[in-house]
Structure 1
Amino acid sequence: MKKLFLIVFSLLLIGCANDDSPSEGDGSIKPKVSISVGNHASEPNTNGSFTLSLTGASSTVTTVTIEVSGTATNGEDYQTIGQQVNIPANTTSHSIPVTVIDDAETEGDETIIIEILSVSDHAEKGSPDTATMTLSEEPESFVLQPEDTPNYMVNPNSTAETIALFYNLKTISSDHFFIGQQDAFNSFYNNVDGDSDIKKLTGSDPALLGSDYMFITDDNNNGDPSNWFYQQEQIIMADAVEAYNKGMVNMFTWHLREPYEGDHFYASEMTQFQLDNAFASILPGGANHEYYKQKLQKVAEVANNLIGNDGKKVPIIFRPFHEFDGNWFWWGADYCTPQQFKECWQFTVTYLRDELGVNNMLFAYAPDNSYSSEMQYLQRYPGDAYVDVLAMDNYGDFNNQGQSGVTAANNKLKIVSDLAKQRVKIAALSETGYFVTPGDNSPISNFYSNNLYNAITNNNNHIAFMMFWSNSENTYCTPVPGMTDASDFMEFTDQPKSLLENELPNMYQLP
């Protein structure tokens, strides 16, 4: 029988410097104490945490009495949580660690529940006052079976090649990851065209090609052969088919122009009216909903007309509304609520799948690197029924941040990796890189073979693929022959878990 534990936490709250914040004894509103799950835990060695949060600061100790319950046993399934914790000055939150104790038993998922029972007189309970953590069995032993694969996909009626792509990405991620690059067939350092820059150096193309629906869905694309935007559409489609024919994986992002004028996607280039209204306007019932549907019809038209040499539709990973936790795009966190974002995502998926008949598409959810917990990562998550790939974009942690940046990136990828294991999804680092502009900045020593590789693979992460951004005339993310970091990149591609195109199995066939 599971025991209940009453634990008293002493939380030292120091008065906040903000004049608007309440302080003890001034008659202001009492600070509220709430609790949430920071990270879920799993056996054998993935620790978790709860987070106590306070809305205001106090100059006296705040005592929080909690009750710990659940089907997992304190002190047996996880190390006993200490009875008293002192919060450092000027801190209004505290992480309560849950350190897993592994055992030989197979117990399935268990729960750890913490409820706030009471707090000191100068504070009060906030909401939520109860949090439930899942202590799951590490899904290392789970083996996805080919015949079961459609059950875990957004579209169980996907083409055979798309089902195989999901299966192979998921399976191979247990011990390898693919190296990709955006626009690898058409963007080159110093504009030296021909082979992809990665192939110029390594002898192989990347394993994944990144493309963009931006020009394809531009208002100026009128479908005329002489139209520049239509010409870009044809080039992008040809590149995707070429990549498929080579056995590579295709991923499309979408820098969608805002719907009022159709000129910009960066928030800094838009009017305040556009920022305040653009996202809401494309939702069902919104002023620009029909406009958005027309853009999705173009997305579907292209996806349905990507045909390989084998006569099959080319599977693609579709990554719309990426980096939505930032504010540089009009779909960013300041310009729509979590519920609006979820509604838009769910409509996008169901319209493409159910109304437009797109059955060769996997859907990738990809925030930037602002999160530090599962709860934050999932704040705008539309649900497992609408996502195939759990990803993240991350440039900041690799921007000459040293070991602290590597550790931060690895921890964030650990969250993605663990969620993908729990939910039977594909984990990915969907955009990254360090931009080198010779004459302006220098390469980082061992950036590829040490910093990037360790961030991807340490901590038992299982990431299916990573993608560098494109090279350009004066700047590169991947070096070419003659660059001082060329040997470092070669070492990165030669690491045991790294795969390029020439090392890929047949990604479009089930075993």
Structure 2
Amino acid sequence: MKNVLFMAIILVFQIGFCQAEKQELNTKNISDFVVAKKKATTETLALFYNLKKLSQTAFAIGQQNAFNSFFYNIKGKSDVKKTTGYDPAIIGLDFSDITDDKNTEKADNWYFQQEQKIISDAKKAYDQGMIVTFSWHFRDPYKGGDFYTDKLADKEKNRVKSILAAGENHEYYKRKLDRIAEVAKKMKGSDGKLIPIIFRPFHEFDGNWFWWGANYCSAEEYKELYTFTVDYLRDTKEITNFLYAFSPDNQFNTEAEYLQRYPGDSHVDILGMDNYGDFDNKGEEGSKTANSKLKILSDLAKERNKIAAMTETGYQITFTKNPIEGFFSKHIYNALTTNDVSISYVMFWENNEEAYFIPQPNMPDTADFIEFTKKQKSALLYSLPKIYQLPKE
């Protein structure tokens, strides 16, 4: 009995000690929580801090390729601004064309021209006070072909293993990271400062449509890849303006499933989720399912001093596919806000000439999207705080 009582006292002491040791984020200790640590630029630390604080009261609304991809190919303002009068709070970009084997870095090369456009968009977004995120649809490391497995003749090949330290494509992979680092160091705003970037490598890894998907590498191989990528960029290339996002698709229902391929807190700043499936004509039930998964992210982020985000979502409307009633103002909004969920941002995928994820004016769901952006917890650019400045405490 004495032993049981003694152990109980020790357990209570240990719990109390752990709670006392847990730090709360403030403007003085941010570098303790970000992957880049004390190497991170002031603006990158401010982005982390402000996103974390924003998630307590609102979420930022973003769109992939907002400045260069439009429904009906109507150029000019972003489609978000055409509809609401304001730009999105976040722009999504991609390193794919920048690292493509066919990018010669010559002025007459199409891929290099895309690279210049991407850099220009990042600068424009930063100068306006928008958040900048980059995904990476990394092409086949063997032949530089596609990133989708259904377009690869030998899709069962373990390409992830080939780019790890002992793999035949490891040096090739490092050269691609060198290009990312080179471009990242060129991305400076009109103030001359490095643009903070949320980098989201090897996303949707729990699906099987990308060559880094769950069927094509083990959990340990995936974690090794993610860890090496961060270490190489942060330590070898000395990238100081990145926050790193971990972003599975929606193929999980428990915390354990979400963390199955998680590389660890020391290598992740943002706990993300891409989710199209739960919103694909599944109504309120789908919204509740998505919310339960976002709850997992949100609780983990609170526990570990991370940021939670819906890193991709949407429902694509085409000339033959009609909008879902209340998609934005009910299904998406409720998924992001109910059940004590704290999400920092939501990213809708890009529009194109023949389809859209965010409507232009006079579409059947335009009013629904406008209502969504005017809700209490929604934030477009005009209501975003000065995201790259730390508040004075």
TM over 0.5: yes
**What SS does structure 2 have at the residue aligned with 1:147?**
coil
Question: What are the within-5 Å matches in structure 2 for residues 17-416 of structure 1?
Answer: 109=15, 143-156=24-37, 157-272=39-154, 275-416=156-297
The offset of 1:254, in angstroms, is 0.2
Matched, 1:417 2:293: no
Gaps of 5+ in 1: 5-68, 74-105, 111-133
Match of 2:348 in 1: 468
Match of 1:487 in 2: 367
How many residues align structurally?
386
Structure 2: distance between partners of 1:2 and 1:214:
64
The residue identity in structure 2 corresponding to 1:292 is Y
The residue identity in structure 2 corresponding to 1:369 is N
The offset of 1:402, in angstroms, is 1.0
Shift of the 504–107 alpha-carbon distance from structure 1 to 2, 3 Å rule, reads farther
Match of 1:437 in 2: 318
Verify the 8 A CA contact 1:2 1:71 in the aligned structure 2: no
TM-score normalized with structure 2 length? 0.94
Match of 1:453 in 2: 333
Can you list the C-alpha shifts for 1:189-246, whole angstroms capped at 9, x where unaligned?
Answer: 0000100000001011000000010111000001010000000000000000100000
Radius of gyration: which is bigger? 1
Match of 2:390 in 1: 510
The offset of 1:356, in angstroms, is 0.6
Verify the 8 A CA contact 1:2 1:70 in the aligned structure 2: no
Structure 1: distance between partners of 2:8 and 2:144:
53
Structure 2: distance between partners of 1:160 and 1:494:
31
The offset of 1:278, in angstroms, is 1.3
Can you list the C-alpha shifts for 1:421-471, whole angstroms capped at 9, x where unaligned?
Answer: 000000000000011113x12111111011100000000110000000000
Can you list the C-alpha shifts for 1:351-407, whole angstroms capped at 9, x where unaligned?
Answer: 001111110000000000010000000000000000000000000000010111011
Structure 1: distance between partners of 2:41 and 2:133:
17
Can you list the C-alpha shifts for 1:311-351, whole angstroms capped at 9, x where unaligned?
Answer: 00000000000000000000000011010011111110010
Shift of the 222–413 alpha-carbon distance from structure 1 to 2, 3 Å rule, reads same
Structure 2: distance between partners of 1:303 and 1:2:
61
The residue identity in structure 2 corresponding to 1:418 is D
Can you list the C-alpha shifts for 1:105-151, whole angstroms capped at 9, x where unaligned?
Answer: x99958xxxxxxxxxxxxxxxxxxxxxxx9x89x9xx8521111110
The offset of 1:275, in angstroms, is 3.2
**What SS does structure 1 have at the residue aligned with 2:330?**
helix
Structure 2: distance between partners of 1:262 and 1:350:
24
**What SS does structure 1 have at the residue aligned with 2:86?**
coil
Which of the pair is proportionally richer in strand? Answer: 1
Verify the 8 A CA contact 1:144 1:171 in the aligned structure 2: no
**What SS does structure 1 have at the residue aligned with 2:150?**
helix
Question: CA-atom RMSD, angstroms?
Answer: 2.2
Match of 1:501 in 2: 381
TM-score normalized with structure 1 length? 0.73
Verify the 8 A CA contact 1:2 1:72 in the aligned structure 2: no
Gaps of 5+ in 2: none
